[in-house]
Amino acid sequence: MANKLTDMSKIRRAIKFHCSGKSKVFISQYLSLSRNTVKKYISLFEAQGLTLGEITQKTDLELETLFSHTTDEQISPRLQNLYDFFPHAEREIKKVGVTLYRTWEEYIQKHPDGYQNSQFRYYYKQWGKKVNPVMHMNHKAGDKMYVDYAGKKLSIVDKDTGEKSEVEFFVAILGSSQYTYAEATPSQKKEDFIASVENAMRFYSGVPKAIVPDNLKSAVVKSSRFEPTINETLADMADYYETTVLPARAYKPRDKSLVEGAVKILYRRIYACLKDETFHTIEELNQRIADLLDSHNKRKFTGRPYTRLELFNEIEKDKLSPLPVQRFEIRYQSFATVMQNGHVQLSKDKHFYSVPYQYIRKKVKILYTSTTVEIFFKYNRIATHTRNYALYSYTTITEHLASTHQFVSDWSAPRFMEWANNIDPVVGEYIFKIIESRNHPEQAFKSCLGILSFEKKAGKQRLINACKRALDFGAYSFKSIQNILENNLEMIKDETTDNAELPPHNNIRGKNYYK
């Protein structure tokens, strides 16, 4: 096993003491370091030919790079081959099913005289600390997308009034490649949050296996260590995209360290560039963010020879699930009781939608989007309609109505005309006259229904004759046809002479009454 490294802050102080003339024994006792360790790092300091000023200016990471190995090790081709292999090993480990032991086997096949498994693991861990302080969390490609809002807000300025409005800064990052997405959004409300998560997946052109949000209200209704309650709309969106939501544990910063680290980097690479610029719309702001974000994703990782975009295209893009063609539509819900006429009211639009008549007086749940309205009773969907925004209007599916109601709902002038003409053109003409005589066609529908029903009650021919007689007299009403049929007047032939006798009738006195 390789020797462990000493804390660089102690090494820095040891070199300062040495340069000020302190003995190695004093330095060893004062810093609680072994004398051999003190000798080793002082020797390395002198061998590097550095000055105390240069040591003071260097960071702990830079000192560790200088002093992590002996001079012989630093120039050893064997060690150099190992470090050259580590970027490839890191990319491989991100793939599903690949372990560190398997990458060591690949390394030892290429370099039979290389380091054994224990030293390979040790040096890999040390290399990981240099290039990525949280690299020990090995994220598999296509597995998780972390999302969060930055603590600091951005702003837009109204062009007319000069009023400044704050907007949120949304950040998403894929765990494996650390490919980052960011945008400005009006708020952290449910609708804006879900739109931002969708925009991130559309940016990645794929869906991860899980979305990891912080415990904000738009994502988690009630946090819990064991079973957090996910916002119902967010859960619907996850179902639509065939993914899942795994909220970060409350008060566990390591669960979301990746996205918080991304936020810190974007503070430097995006916020710093925006502070002196003014934007009048959120679209202008997002266009500028997109340009800066593109530069960020094309910038090489610290200590690694590749960028986030290159790593994404190489190991993660193909591991994401395909996107649905249509975007997710947020569903809202309300509750209503089915009215006696078989309709429920969507209170937001003041519009009425039909349900099967069997659910009259039942309480139902209405789920609606911008385009559709779905009605549920005890988890069963009983009706689906296209959303209609007309106030106080009805959307009715005929099959939902009771049989008697279905018949009434089909009443129309063309239907009555067709029915009448099928009996006889004379009946058709009479029905047309009745409909034409009313101010509104619907006023004549019941009269038409009553007249046409005489076909079964009195017979087809009698109805035809009655309509002929009524047409001759210009009497256009249900009562006219009823009187003609009740008194058999349709059987009397018309007389064209002045001496034509009136037909006998109870209401007609006759000429003998006046003698």
Classify 369 as helix, strand or coil.
coil
pTM of the predicted model over 0.85: no
The token pair that represents 393 in the structure block? 């209007």
Burial tier of 212 (Cβ tally within 10 Å: 0-12, 13-18, 19+): buried
Please tell me the distance from the alpha carbon of residue 231 to that of residue 196, in angstroms, as a whole number: 15
In our burial notation (b when 16+ CB lie closer than 10 A, e otherwise), range 96-116 reads: eebebeebbeebeeeeeebbe
What amino acid occupies position 314? Answer: E
Q: Taking a C-beta distance cutoff of 8 angstroms, is the pair 262, 178 a contact?
A: yes
Alpha helices in 77-153 (DSSP H): 77-93, 100-110, 117-131
The fold adopted by the segment(s) 144-319 is Nucleotidyltransferase; domain 5 (3.30.420)
**Rg, the chain, Cα only:** 43
In our burial notation (b when 16+ CB lie closer than 10 A, e otherwise), range 56-88 reads: eebeeeebbebbbbeeeeeeeeebeebeebbbe
The domain limits of the chain are 8-72, 76-131, 144-319, 332-401, 411-514
Distance of CA 311 to the CA centre of its chain: 26
- For the chain, 515 residues long, give each residue's pLDDT as a single digit of tens: 444 556 677 778 888 888 888 888 888 887 888 888 888 888 777 776 777 777 777 666 667 766 664 444 444 677 778 877 887 887 777 776 678 888 888 888 888 888 888 888 888 887 776 655 444 456 778 888 888 888 888 899 988 888 889 999 999 888 888 899 999 999 988 889 999 999 999 999 999 998 888 777 777 767 666 567 777 888 888 899 999 888 875 545 555 566 677 788 888 788 878 877 889 999 999 999 999 999 989 888 766 677 889 889 888 888 899 999 888 888 888 999 998 878 899 988 989 999 988 888 899 999 998 889 999 998 889 999 999 998 888 888 877 766 544 444 556 677 778 888 888 888 888 888 887 777 666 667 778 888 888 888 888 888 888 898 888 888 888 888 888 888 888 776 655 444 555 566 666 666 565 55
Please tell me the distance from the alpha carbon of residue 101 to that of residue 93, in angstroms, as a whole number: 10
Percent helix, strand, coil in the chain (nearest 5)? 50, 15, 35
